[in-house]
Amino acid sequence: MADCWTVSLELVLRKFISSTKPRNQTAVSEFLLLELTEDPAVQLLLFSLFLSILFLSMYLVTILGNLLIILAISFDSHLHTPMYFFLSNLSLNDICLSTSIIPKMLVNILRQNQTITYTGCLTQTGFVLVFVYMENFLLAVMAYDRYVAICHPLMYTIIMKPSLCFCLVLVSQLISTADTLLHTLMLLRLSFCTDLQIPHFFCELAQVIKLACSDALTDDIVILVAACLFAGASISGIIFSYVHIVSSVLRMPSSEGKHKAFSTCGSHLSVVSLFYGTSFGVYISSAVTDSPRKTAVASVMYSVVPQMLNPFIYSLRNRDMKKALRKFIGKTVSLL
């Protein structure tokens, strides 16, 4: 499905580029991603073998882990609840985000060629933005689900109807897509000079804008406003939900009830901390350090590592999830 979206978006971009005909399009046909090392001999030996195996392993673990989560939830009727509906969407989003980054990285490493076409770079930028924004919204929606479940348990089934859950995911997807389309179209109006090296392993929006020769102040303002508006709203919603959750749990008379309530939120809090912690760490490191390679390595932490660890966090800390996974794996093995 991601491939179909990629082809469609590339066709739209080509049509838009050919119609606008900016003055620099004849000169800008491709970008150069971060060179993995400055020593060709070391690059051939170390990065073609070690890094390709490392990233391939991370990608396979991400795909397999999140796919198992989706299948286990789909086949176990006991998990057909709003909480696991959002979790399955988060797992699907993690698969798509990893797929938009790692395969191209692997191809570049194996081919010893760090170039990416202009259209391909904008396409990758768009997909990364869509799935990062979607992850941001899904984490906020999952926090709201936990808030309703703990603070208003008697109203949970009435409030969290399937139609509302579907609408929350749909609206999140529409907002993510609309915002990404805005950023991508604004990128198309920029002109680029001769220095086209992106200090990342993939095309990241802010890094692409830094290469523009034309005035990119409007793009920077839009990025800042969008980040404050959408990321700020999601983080505020998560904080609001957990402030009320903690307040409600502390008023519970039994310690067993408190432990059960906190255990249902533990996995989500871990994923939230991992995603936002690594994201903020990337931008803090990029502001502190002048090394593009250190910044690029840090960017992998928020774009690859959380998506790989999320299935383990939810499966290891959730009794129902572990039970569903054992049941699904057992059925699969018996059929084989």
Q: Is residue 312 part of a domain?
A: yes
Domain that holds residue 116: 26-335
Top mean pLDDT of 34-48, 176-190, 198-212 is at 176-190
Contact 208, 230 (CB under 8 A): no
Contact 134, 171 (CB under 8 A): no
pLDDT in tens, 179-192: 999 998 888 888 88
| pLDDT given for residue 163 in this prediction | 95
Split into its structural domains, the chain has a count of: 1
**What's the pLDDT band for 329 if we cut at 50, 70, 90?**
confident
Q: Is residue 178 part of a domain?
A: yes
pLDDT in tens, 268-311: 888 898 888 877 777 676 666 666 666 666 677 777 888 898 88
| pLDDT given for residue 38 in this prediction | 52
Q: Is residue 5 part of a domain?
A: no
Q: What is the mean pLDDT of the chain?
A: 80
| pLDDT given for residue 6 in this prediction | 43
| pLDDT given for residue 116 in this prediction | 84
pLDDT in tens, 78-135: 889 999 999 999 999 999 999 999 898 888 877 777 788 888 888 999 999 999 999 9
pLDDT at 335 over 50: yes
**Poorest-confidence range of 45-49, 137-141, 303-307?**
45-49
Q: Where are the alpha helices (DSSP H) in the chain?
A: 2-20, 40-42, 52-75, 82-99, 102-111, 118-151, 156-159, 162-188, 205-210, 217-226, 232-250, 255-288, 292-303, 305-316, 319-335
> What percentage of the chain reaches a pLDDT higher than 70?
81
Please give the distance of CA 328 from its chain centroid, rounded to a whole number.
26
Q: Is residue 255 part of a domain?
A: yes
pLDDT at 64 over 60: yes
> What percentage of the chain reaches a pLDDT higher than 90?
31
| pLDDT given for residue 270 in this prediction | 86
CATH code of the domain covering residue 114: 1.20.1070.10
pLDDT at 9 over 60: no
Q: Is residue 35 part of a domain?
A: yes
| pLDDT given for residue 290 in this prediction | 62
Contact 209, 184 (CB under 8 A): no
Strand partners for 30: 117
Q: Is residue 197 part of a domain?
A: yes
pLDDT in tens, 70-92: 998 998 888 899 999 999 999 99
CA–CA–CA angle 139, 144, 147 (5° rounding): 130
| Average pLDDT over every residue of 23-45 | 56
Q: Is residue 15 part of a domain?
A: no
**Poorest-confidence range of 54-58, 140-144, 321-325?**
321-325
| pLDDT given for residue 113 in this prediction | 74
Q: Is residue 9 part of a domain?
A: no
